[in-house]
């Protein structure tokens, strides 16, 4: 895995929420991205039957977009890929958490639980510094030397 791709997944693993939507709809909704322990290159979402996203992929995979702006992880990204419905109980078991359980009356056994799989193909990313001390140092250095602060870098990631 390339360094940029690895950095993307390492930072995404710290993100609590992003905006996910089908490209054709032009709308996004807040969702909690999850990664498997083996980082299989996919981004997973637990949701419920009846949501627009589940209905949108019921007939098959669809072009989708995930947008992340997270200062804690320092990840700012516009990610394109395919979104599909997954029926893999092992992945759902691995990803299930008390946070997911809070949304479902019958916990993991709730018949409305659905698992979405996002397979990214391209991401325009900005990897920003997450250190407050480094940020302040760069701002001070820039003010003293009339240079731009170095607070991160922009990159494109192909999956």
- pTM over 0.95? The answer is no
**pLDDT at residue 133, rounded to an integer:** 66
What is the domain partition of the chain in residue ranges?
A: 3-158
Candidate CATH numbers 3.40.190.10, 2.30.110.10, 3.40.50.150, 2.60.120.380; the one for domain 3-158 = 2.30.110.10
Please name the residue that has the structure tokens 């302040």. 136
**DSSP class of 34:** B
Q: Which residues, including other chains, have CB under 8 Å from residue 140's CB and lie 6 or more apart?
A: none
At 101-126, the pLDDT tens digits run: 999 999 999 999 999 999 999 999 99
Which pLDDT tens digit goes with each residue over 65-94?
A: 999 999 899 999 999 999 999 999 999 999
Strand 18-22 with 29-31, pairing: antiparallel
């Amino acid at each position: 895995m390339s360094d940029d791709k690895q950095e993307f997944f390492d930072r995404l693993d710290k993100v609590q929420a992003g905006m996910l939507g089908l490209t054709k709809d032009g709308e996004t909704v807040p969702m909690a991205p999850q990664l498997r322990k083996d980082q299989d290159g996919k981004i997973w979402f637990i949701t419920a039957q009846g949501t627009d996203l589940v209905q949108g992929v019921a007939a098959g995979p669809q072009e989708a977009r995930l947008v992340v702006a997270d200062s804690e992880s320092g990840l700012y990204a516009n990610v394109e890929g395919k979104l599909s419905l997954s029926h893999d109980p092992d992945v759902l078991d691995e990803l299930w958490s008390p946070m997911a359980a809070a949304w479902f009356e019958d916990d993991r056994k709730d018949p409305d639980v659905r698992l979405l799989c996002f397979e990214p193909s391209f991401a325009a990313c900005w990897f920003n510094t997450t250190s407050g001390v480094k940020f302040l140092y760069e701002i001070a250095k820039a003010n003293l030397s009339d240079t731009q602060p170095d607070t991160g870098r922009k990159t494109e990631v192909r999956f």
